[in-house]
Amino acid sequence: MTIAAREIHLKSRPTGVPGPENFEFTERVLPVPAEGQLLVRTLWMSVDPYMRGRMVDRPSYIEPFQVGQPLEGDAVSVVEQSRDDRFKPGDFVKHFYGWRERVVIDAATATKVDPAIAPLQAWLGPLGVPGLTAYAGLVHVAKLKEGDTVFVSAAAGAVGSMAVQIAKIKGARVIGSVGSDDKARWVRDELGADAVINYRTAGDLAKALAEAAPEGIDVYFDNVGGDHLDAALAVANRYARFAICGMIAQYNDETPPPGPRNLAALIVKRIAMQGYIILDYPDLTNETREMAGWLAEGRIKSRDTVVEGLENAPKAFIGLFSGDNTGKMLVRLAEG
Ligand SMILES: NC(=O)c1ccc[n+]([C@@H]2O[C@H](COP(=O)([O-])OP(=O)(O)OC[C@H]3O[C@@H](n4cnc5c(N)ncnc54)[C@H](OP(=O)(O)O)[C@@H]3O)[C@@H](O)[C@H]2O)c1
């Protein structure tokens, strides 16, 4: 029996904020799985800001998407057919072939996920790239210490909401910045941030940050860049550490914006600023275990913004750039 599956391709490279016209729906007749392969059905897929970078044809840490080819990204699926002894139908797996209803993949590219440890979608959130990116950025890059004051931008997003909570668990004072009052309430009242700035209404961000951190910041966890990085440089303490995780404020710019005006603060304050990619940390087994423990104990709270159906995946992705999500933006393709 032949199986056809819908998938989403890159139709054209976006200029500025992506639109529905940049995506194309097609249907593919799937091959029968060969020895060592699996047929999997996607239940959950992740949309992530870094995918915007892959829509541009330029060298980076990961290959650009190709026009006319399917998009890629993390997904959780159920195995429907297996030609590999390690997997059987009904197993749940995580893989990198999202944006498709069903796909035939090499079993070597799939990792089993255990719904007894955490709900399936958590493997795309706290126990997936967002959670581990937050963990690695704070602990391994910024060398977070108990008593540090930490500033986290995009604090109500997938990575930011994890960074806020991990920093609190590790004994830091935490200030978040977010784009709405509802998000501010969630980050302060539910996630435990000590202060939250709504950057859309705060006016002068550096002034608002200085008020929220009267003794300065020791760590900046940057998800945004731009004016947030300026503000963090202005308010940083001597020997502050900046983990540069992302700069979403400029992902849709055609030309790079001017750099921070106050970069000389790096010298005056001996600030260490390091960019990193989660791929630099291939083995975070212990960190994943620790996160799973915190999740089970309720010390880490996770929230998802769920968009239903593959047909709405482009909308979910585009919504990341206007703050449509609180917590992790996910697309549910089928019930698990
Ligand atoms: N280095 C790595 O390995 C790595 C891995 C994963 C993610 N990242 C980066 O981490 C950052 C967060 O990713 P995520 O997956 O957790 O996404 P996310 O924070 O869940 O979603 C993006 C959020 O960014 C905020 N935002 C969008 N445009 C903005 C702007 N112009 N200025 C300020 N805030 C803006 C929005 O929240 P508001 O409503 O609060 O504005 C939006 O909800 C991104 O920069 C991403 O590229 C890096």
- Answer yes or no: do 146 and 60 share one domain: no
C-alpha 226 – ligand 1 centre gap (Å): 13
Q: Output phi, psi for 253, to 5 deg.
A: -75, 140
Q: Does residue 87 form part of some domain? A: yes
- Answer yes or no: do 183 and 68 share one domain: no
- Answer yes or no: do 322 and 192 share one domain: no
C-alpha 124 – ligand 1 centre gap (Å): 15
C-alpha 288 – ligand 1 centre gap (Å): 21
Over residues 190-233, the pLDDT tens digits come to 999 999 999 999 999 999 999 999 999 999 999 999 999 999 99
Q: Locate the ligand 1 atom nearest the alpha carbon of residue 133 and give its number.
A: 5
Is 2's pLDDT higher than 90?
Answer: no
Q: Locate the ligand 1 atom nearest the alpha carbon of residue 325 and give its number.
A: 43
Q: Does residue 296 form part of some domain? A: no
- Answer yes or no: do 98 and 154 share one domain: no
- Answer yes or no: do 170 and 271 share one domain: yes
Task: Give me the pLDDT at residue 259, please.
Answer: 85
Over residues 103-137, the pLDDT tens digits come to 999 999 999 999 999 999 999 999 999 999 999 99
Is 86's pLDDT higher than 80?
Answer: yes
Q: Is 220 exposed, middle or buried (0-12, 13-18, 19+ CB in 10 A)?
A: buried
- Answer yes or no: do 34 and 148 share one domain: no
Over residues 273-300, the pLDDT tens digits come to 999 999 999 999 999 999 999 999 999 9
- Answer yes or no: do 106 and 209 share one domain: no
**Number of compact structural domains in the chain:** 2
C-alpha 311 – ligand 1 centre gap (Å): 23
* Smallest CA separation from ligand 1 atom 2, residue: 277
Give the pLDDT band (50/70/90) at residue 1. Answer: confident
Domain that holds residue 226: 129-280
* Smallest CA separation from ligand 1 atom 44, residue: 246
C-alpha 107 – ligand 1 centre gap (Å): 31
Mutation test residue for ligand 1: of 47, 159, 164, 180, the one with most atoms within 8 Å of CB: 159
**Ligand 1 cavity residues, CB under 6 Å:** 48-50, 129-130, 133, 154, 156-160, 178-180, 183, 223-224, 245-249, 276-278, 320-321, 323, 325, 329
Q: Does residue 195 form part of some domain? A: yes
Q: Does residue 71 form part of some domain? A: yes
pTM assigned to the model: 0.98
- Answer yes or no: do 11 and 85 share one domain: yes
CATH number for 141: 3.40.50.720
Task: Give me the pLDDT at residue 190, please.
Answer: 98
pLDDT (average), residues 60-69: 97
In this structure, the strands spanning 3-10 and 23-30 are antiparallel
pLDDT (average), residues 32-37: 98
- Kindly provide the residue ranges of all beta strands, DSSP E only, lying in 164-227, ordered along the sequence: 173-178, 195-198, 217-222
Mutation test residue for ligand 1: of 165, 182, 248, the one with most atoms within 8 Å of CB: 248
Q: Does residue 294 form part of some domain? A: no
Distance CA 72, CA 95 (A): 10
Closest by Cα among 240, 222, 267, 312 to 20: 312
- Answer yes or no: do 111 and 220 share one domain: no
Q: Does residue 289 form part of some domain? A: no
Over residues 233-274, the pLDDT tens digits come to 999 999 999 999 999 999 999 998 888 999 999 999 999 999
Rounded mean pLDDT of the chain? Answer: 97
C-alpha 329 – ligand 1 centre gap (Å): 11
C-alpha 37 – ligand 1 centre gap (Å): 34
Is 9's pLDDT higher than 80?
Answer: yes
Cβ-proximal residues to 286 (8 Å cutoff; 6+ apart), any chain: none
C-alpha 38 – ligand 1 centre gap (Å): 33
- Answer yes or no: do 163 and 117 share one domain: no
Q: Does residue 293 form part of some domain? A: no
Closest by Cα among 289, 284, 321, 271 to 50: 321
Task: Give me the pLDDT at residue 67, please.
Answer: 98
pLDDT (average), residues 37-55: 98
Taking the alpha carbons of 277, 126, 172, 169 in that order, is the dihedral positive or negative? negative
- Answer yes or no: do 76 and 104 share one domain: yes
* Smallest CA separation from ligand 1 atom 43, residue: 323
* Smallest CA separation from ligand 1 atom 41, residue: 179
Give the pLDDT band (50/70/90) at residue 145. Answer: very high
CATH number for 120: 3.90.180.10
Q: Does residue 290 form part of some domain? A: no
- Answer yes or no: do 138 and 275 share one domain: yes
DSSP string, 231-269: HHHHHEEEEEEEEE---GGGTT-SSPPP--TTTTHHHHT
Distance CA 57, CA 60 (A): 9
